[in-house]
Structure 1
């Protein structure tokens, strides 16, 4: 192992939270390194085709701004998204369809322009700890071999809490009663879909779908339904996946949709053998789903499989046990915190860990909840922050806070905090939260000042 450079802020994981953490830290003047295991950035949205992004809004009001909104505006300029459009299903106020290849480019350019250094095809293999029990360095591996990087602040944005686990910081996995996490899904792109035919069927049989009021006028097709046809497929033995509906969303490219219908239950995304098996099962399911859609679903008769995700989509794995654990009650009741770093508004959306159900705890329309700074801090490695999907939250709360726009907001806050801590040569917990909040607001972020109370 050879020594590498020292950084003010080291970010592990180039998903939505990691990208925003690195860009935020670098723009605040911190010498920043972003580490990503794939050859591109974007996390679940690009490597697992998880889309559309949802949601940037609470009711009629947009709440996700800052770097998250900058990314969407950059993407819009190059034809990679129509922006935020009404959700035909009505699950959330708006959805944001994206062209994942163009999104990869936008994320890459934001990181490059910020001055942050980027290491792709690089994985974290271990950590080094100081005598004071803080992190001193990350052990890394890529095509050049094994090496290490040291830093003042480290931010775990791996999604799976890999650095948290390697650092012996306590964490939880899954729901309380049995430790089972939400299922994994292999999403895929389908081309040559006759969306006019799909929409006409929805007009003819509206009771077969989950639909928002005024859905007929929505320009981008979103489908949650075909319940009778799914039942027919199951009865005939043509559809055996643990799913109760067809779920797909129109993409920016004509005739293309992103399909979310596979479901691999009872597998742990942090277990190497289980993850390998889940990948195999999910691709088998993809072929079954494609055949089912072609045979049963109007508008999909001539559809073609374009591509699957680079990896299976993971909804939930490790969750850090931080200074504060965000609760399901916090989410549903729109709870406020003085140390707020980001707003959230997505419903609690739990795909059953052991069945085919989708369990939703809806909030009052327009409800906003706060994500507190303490939910990315911990008492064990005090210079390690946890942002994105591995922040400190209960199983139920993570079912809301895990989504891409929220992860981007939390990532920007973590990067900002890391940069301030490095500049002041102190621990992240010692930074004045009001200074972090002021910086976020100065950078265009909304911190959910107006919320629904109990």
Structure 2
């Protein structure tokens, strides 16, 4: 196997957490490689059209800043987002609609400008462990063939914990009672939607929707409802998808929306055959949902399907068993940790692994919880950190911590820590937590509610 040059930090996965991990590591002075399997960056937000991004806020306070906020401001300058706007549904304080093509470009520019060695169209096929059980190299494959990249510190941001799996780090999947994970969904975009007609129907049928207070003031349309029409479609035999509502969000371009209505249950995203079948099922569901929307939902008669995600959207797969496992109770109680590296506030949003329900575990509005450094560390391969949805959390806690703004914050912390460890010649767990926290604060990140209040 061909051996490539050695890096200080190697980040696997170019999704929101991996992008921020790589940029943070490179800006901290570490020689950094970012490995991504597609020909573009963005992860679920771009390859699966998962949007809008939500949420950067806890109540009236913006808790997610740092590199993630820098990306949004750059995107705003080129007309790729209106920024953070009120959520019409009221599920979260704000949502951030994005033009995914412009987001791909912004992520690419940030990575390139930071001096990251970007390796696209490349997948992880295995690892090389040393006699001390730490990672020495990743085995990779692309059009040039198999090769190996050495590093001092590694960050798994693959979403599915692929490096974790190859390294033998213990992990969990799904809910405790049966291992079933949250369902996968194929997101898709539609155009030529008459949103004025949609809003007119909502005004006349308010009880058939989940709506925020003063929802009519929201600048972008978000819909969770049409329950009666969904029920009618099911009774007519024209909607068989395991969904109880119409769910879509307006995009920055006029008349365009992002639809989240497909649901593939009981399939494992880390099983190659199961993932293949899920893709086939989901695209069949897209066509069914599009026809249903066009025939049943006001404002959709002249609408068109623009595109589906490059891949099906995955909510949950592998989660490491780390030095600390974040729990649902931690989130609900707004637990604080001395080794906090990021703040979160998204509700515990569990799409039933075996049905059509959307289960939300109530949190007090504005609740802010800490994510501890220990939840991205493990006790087996000690120079491997994780970020994104494979962090150490229970099934319930991951249902909140998995979202894009939080993933970007954790990624930024993981990349910073990896760079500090590599430069000092120590293991990530030996990095001084106070120094790490100070570095994150200098990068514009908030690590306590008091800091947010002072902003």
TM-score range with shorter-chain normalisation? Answer: over 0.9
For residues 187 and 12 of structure 1, the distance between their equivalents in structure 2, rounded to whole angstroms, comes to 24
SS at match of 1:388: coil
Matches within 5 A, 1:158-169: 158-169=158-169
In structure 1, distance between residues paired with 2:91 and 2:286: 24
For residue 66 of structure 1, report the CA deviation from its aligned partner.
0.3
SS in 1 for 2:322: coil
Partner of 1:15: 15
Q: 1:220 is paired with a residue of what secondary structure?
A: coil
Contact 1:369 1:451 (C-alpha < 8 Å) held by counterparts: no
Runs (4 or more) in structure 1 with deviation over 4 Å come to none
Task: For 2:344 and 2:217, locate their aligned partners in 1 and report how far apart those are by CA, in whole Å.
Answer: 27
Provide TM-score, normalisation by structure 1.
0.99
CA distance in 2, matches of 1:304, 1:449: 44
- What is aligned with 1:84? 84
CA separation in 1, counterparts of 2:222 and 2:288?
21
Unaligned runs of 5+ in 1: none
1:63 positional shift:
0.2
Offset of residue 451 of structure 1:
10
Q: What are the within-5 Å matches in structure 2 for residues 87-236 of structure 1?
A: 87-236=87-236
In the TM superposition, what is the alpha-carbon distance from 1:365 to its structure 2 partner? 1.2
1:449 CA drift (Å): 3.5
List gaps (5 residues or longer) in structure 2.
none
Q: Which residue is equivalent to 2:248?
A: 248
- For 1:50 and 1:3, the matched residues in 2 are separated by 36
Number of aligned residue pairs: 452
**Per the alignment, in what secondary structure is the counterpart of residue 152 of structure 1?**
strand
Residues in 2 aligned to 1:248 and 1:277: alpha-carbon distance in whole angstroms: 25
The equivalent of 2:356 in structure 1 is: 356
Partner of 2:47: 47
Give the 5 Å matches for 1:231-310: 231-310=231-310
Deviation at 1:448, TM superposition (A): 2.5
Residue 32 of structure 2 corresponds to which residue in structure 1?
32
Quote the offset at 1:426 in angstroms. 0.2
Aligned position for 1:393:
393
CA contact (8 A) 2:368 2:449 kept: no
Distance 2:9 2:278 in 1: 34
* CA distance in 2: counterparts of 1:393 and 1:375, whole angstroms: 7
Pair 1:275–1:115, CA change in 2 (3 A): same
Q: Distance in 1 between matches of 2:176 and 2:126?
A: 28
- 1:303-322 matches, cutoff 5 A: 303-322=303-322
CA contact (8 A) 1:334 1:451 kept: no
Residue 128 of structure 1: SS of its match in structure 2? strand
3-state SS, counterpart of residue 390 of structure 1: coil
Could you report, residue by residue, the CA deviation over 1:268-317 in whole angstroms, capped at 9, with x for unpaired residues? Answer: 00000000000000000000000000000000111100000000000000
Instruction: Kindly indicate whether the alpha-carbon contact (under 8 Å) linking 2:42 and 2:107 is maintained by their aligned counterparts in 1.
Output: yes
Tell me the residue number matched to 1:339. 339
Give the structure 2 partner of residue 325 of structure 1.
325
For the 8 Å contact 1:336–1:451, the answer to whether it is kept is no
SS at match of 2:111: helix
In 1, Cα distance between the equivalents of 2:253 and 2:235?
34
The answer to whether 1:370 aligns with 2:381 is: no
How far the C-alpha of 1:362 sits from its partner, in A, is 2.1
